[in-house]
Amino acid sequence: MLAGALLLSGCAEPPATADKPAPPPEVPAAPAVKSDASPAASPTASPAAPLRVNVFLEYSGGMKGFVPVGNAGRPATEFQRRVLSLLTETSVSGAAGTPRYFLVYKDTLLRPTTFDQMRDVVLGLRADAALGTELPDMLQGILNRPQAGSEVSVIVSDFIYGPAQKSKIPLIADYIRTAVDAVRQKKLAVAVLAERSAFYGTYFPAVKTPVPRRQLRGERVPYYAWVVGPPDQVSRYLAAVVKNPPAEQAYYGLTFRSIPAGAVLTGLPAGSPLLPGGGGSVMQATLNSATALDIEDVKSGVEFTVGLNLSQLPEAWRQPALLARQLRVSLAGAAPLLVPGSVQRLTAAEQAATPALAAYTHRLRLRLTSLPAGPSRLTLTLAAPETPAWAAAWSTDNDNQPGPVANTYRLTDVLRGLRGAFPDTLPPAFSVEFAVSNQD
């Protein structure tokens, strides 16, 4: 679940000085429309060129507890299973082209390696780990590479940031914000994927009292992946490589140029609850290659169903509850309404029984009771969700005594710094439009 990810940490031991009425049958079915109202891409279009993917694995002493050498008495850790799966999917996926692999050391920072050598590291078969570099330095080292603006970078680390200079602690968000400024400059997207894994061996907390290190025997410790790259490339990588994403995810700057959408007004069985309802009527046509809606008697109220194909979106953004919270509908001079409870996934049975639905993954209902006098456009937008609540639950101000499940030192500060690299209002994930005319 990593695509240009940046998961870096100071998990290594620091220096000693550190502590979201039926229309007439002759009306054609709605075509898919792009978010810019241009026609949907043809299915015969040339496939996109393979992505350029770089996988970065922090290889420090503090990471070794995730990768013990397995034996009959101790199964592979979650980290080993999940990261090995990620490496394998990245290697064999045609979408990822020919990936490059790097181990992140303190001395040379980014050390080129091979798939086999990185796999050996994850299996615990190499012992030459190095001291870690502080998180801001790692982020700058990766994001400031000249090619970082056109590639997907996948970086895996525990993301512990305990500054050697304790005066930096109140300013962690600021240091992270400065370190990730290349994200703003290069207009990149970041996907944060969070997981926990059993940890065996020496654990180096950010808080050094009462002890600077502890021996863990299977306690579960967080690790992360930040997927960093151009928005379309990040979404392609996640869809092609990350087959089973974790529940805890966060996305910044992730936008989609084209979302197939259509007003589902034809091809539906008589009496279908998806047909237009209310006292008004809706007729669908095509205008300048976009879906156009001719509406009559709108004052009596009219409802109609919209189909969306959200297969490009991360799974976390395809949940009906999140969509219901984050979808915004607008029409100048009117007050359109997203009907409560109407956002639903389309089932395979619904898609198979009704060809008009086969092109979509989700449906929702819109209600209109007024329209402007002249031609207008109805816009449906998905506002990008902010940092989800799980991040606060995974953050701690003291990681010196991890229990059966550990949290990450000041994770909220780290993510606040990352969030600061984006506009105060995140760009919408997508926007689709319908031309609307008032026939009254």
Mean pLDDT of 27-34: 34
Asked whether residue 9 carries a pLDDT value surpassing 90, the answer given is no
350 and 217 in a common domain: no
Question: Is 402 within a domain?
Answer: yes
Asked whether residue 396 carries a pLDDT value surpassing 80, the answer given is yes
**pLDDT (0 to 100) of residue 289:** 61
Asked whether residue 18 carries a pLDDT value surpassing 70, the answer given is no
Mean pLDDT of 348-360: 89
Contacts with 245 (C-beta within 8 Å, 6 or more apart), sequence order: 1, 193, 238, 314, 315, 316
Confidence of residue 46 (pLDDT cuts 50, 70, 90): low
User: How many domains does the chain contain in total?
Assistant: 2
Mean pLDDT of 324-353: 93
376 and 353 in a common domain: yes
Q: Which domain holds residue 379?
A: 261-383+429-438
**HSE-up (13 A, CA, CB side) for residue 183:** 30
Question: Is 115 within a domain?
Answer: yes
**pLDDT (0 to 100) of residue 6:** 34
Mean pLDDT of 293-300: 86
331 and 235 in a common domain: no
Question: Is 23 within a domain?
Answer: no
Q: How far is CA 397 from the centre of its chain?
A: 26
Question: Is 118 within a domain?
Answer: yes
238 and 136 in a common domain: yes
338 and 310 in a common domain: yes
394 and 379 in a common domain: no
Mean pLDDT of 40-62: 77
245 and 184 in a common domain: yes
174 and 313 in a common domain: no
216 and 281 in a common domain: no
Asked whether residue 29 carries a pLDDT value surpassing 50, the answer given is no
Question: Is 30 within a domain?
Answer: no
Mean pLDDT, all residues of the chain: 85
Q: What is the CATH number of the domain that holds 363?
A: 2.60.40
295 and 160 in a common domain: no
* Higher local confidence (pLDDT), 2 or 361: 361
How far apart CA 32 and CA 324 sit, in angstroms, is 21
- The least confident of 71-80, 114-123, 303-312, 425-434 is 71-80
Confidence of residue 290 (pLDDT cuts 50, 70, 90): low
Name the H helices within 160-304.
172-179, 181-185, 231-241
Asked whether residue 292 carries a pLDDT value surpassing 60, the answer given is yes
List the one residue out of 180, 221, 197 whose CA is nearest residue 402: 221
Mean pLDDT of 431-437: 91
Mean pLDDT of 273-288: 78
Question: Is 180 within a domain?
Answer: yes
**pLDDT (0 to 100) of residue 30:** 34
Question: Is 117 within a domain?
Answer: yes
- The least confident of 1-5, 228-232, 413-417 is 1-5
Asked whether residue 50 carries a pLDDT value surpassing 80, the answer given is yes
DSSP 284-327: EEEETTEEEEEEE-GGG-EEEEEEE--TTS-GGGG-HHHHHHHE
Asked whether residue 22 carries a pLDDT value surpassing 70, the answer given is no
**pLDDT (0 to 100) of residue 164:** 84
List the one residue out of 365, 261, 388 whose CA is nearest residue 316: 388
Asked whether residue 149 carries a pLDDT value surpassing 90, the answer given is yes
**pLDDT (0 to 100) of residue 45:** 53
Mean pLDDT of 24-31: 34
321 and 414 in a common domain: no
Confidence of residue 288 (pLDDT cuts 50, 70, 90): low
In this structure, are residues 173 and 253 in contact, taking their beta carbons and an 8 Å threshold?
no
- The least confident of 62-71, 266-275, 320-329, 334-343 is 266-275
Question: Is 11 within a domain?
Answer: no
pLDDT per position as a tens digit, 216-274: 999 999 999 999 999 999 999 999 999 889 999 999 999 998 899 988 887 777 778 88
141 and 230 in a common domain: yes
How far apart CA 11 and CA 9 sit, in angstroms, is 5
List the one residue out of 20, 17, 19 whose CA is nearest residue 324: 20
